[in-house]
Amino acid sequence: MAILPILCYPDPRLHKVAQPVQTVDARIQALVSDMLATMYDAHGIGLAATQIDVHERLVVIDVSEERNEPLVLINPEIVWASPDKHVGDEGCLSVPGIYDGVERAAAVHVRALDAQGQSRTLEAEGLLAVCVQHEMDHLMGKVFVEYLSPLKRNRIKTKMLKQQREAHE
């Protein structure tokens, strides 16, 4: 297992659209292990392959208190979204230190392959539903700050670029 570097907003690679995983093989399973290690190391609740500069439809999630319920979603598709919406504060490992409210479907059903290549349907609500939708956006090249006003987004962009410059000094 390896801890992989996470791309930081506004890195243009975060806007690439991921391609479907062709086969759940040893390469994908190794990637899943690395992504889980990277997510736990960064104290995140979700990580999309896009964030580690791999542009395949692969997401890992763990919203449990104990950090021992890893979820692997390969080629996830939302098959149902509740009409009722919920606004919750979101953060992102690619936008460190920024939290803001985003409106999402309150519940979703997601069909995906697991790490063994088995098709499963996940029924998600609450934090898990938020996390699934947030990570699936990453696969489409979308970062949560894009839901915010242009003014807020520009302020965040400036702040991130300043942090990144300072980190390199």
Strands 107-113 and 119-125: antiparallel
CA–CA distance, 41 with 168 (Å, rounded to integer):
21
CA–CA separation, 144 and 9 (whole Å): 10
Residue placing its CB nearer to Ni ion in the complex, 92 or 105: 92
Nearest CA-CA partner of 74 in 33, 32, 128: 32
| b/e 138-147 (16+ beta carbons within 10 angstroms → b) | bbebbbbbeb
Q: Which two three-digit tokens encode residue 77?
A: 């598709």
Q: How far is the CB of 123 from Ni ion (least distance, A)?
A: 22
DSSP, collapsed to helix, strand or coil, labels residue 129 as helix
Given 123, 135, 166, 169, the catalytic residue: 135
135 is catalytic: yes
d(CA 134, CA 148) in angstroms, rounded, equals 14
Shortest Å distance, C-beta 137 to Ni ion: 8
Residues that bind Ni ion (CB under 5 A): 92
Q: In angstroms, rounded to a whole number, what is the distance separating the alpha carbons of residues 123 and 99?
A: 25
* Burial (Cβ within 10 Å: 0-12, 13-18, ≥19) of residue 11: middle
**Residue 48 beta carbon to Ni ion: minimum distance, rounded to whole angstroms:** 7
In angstroms, what is the minimal distance from the CB of 126 to Ni ion? Answer: 17
Catalytically active residues, by annotation: 135
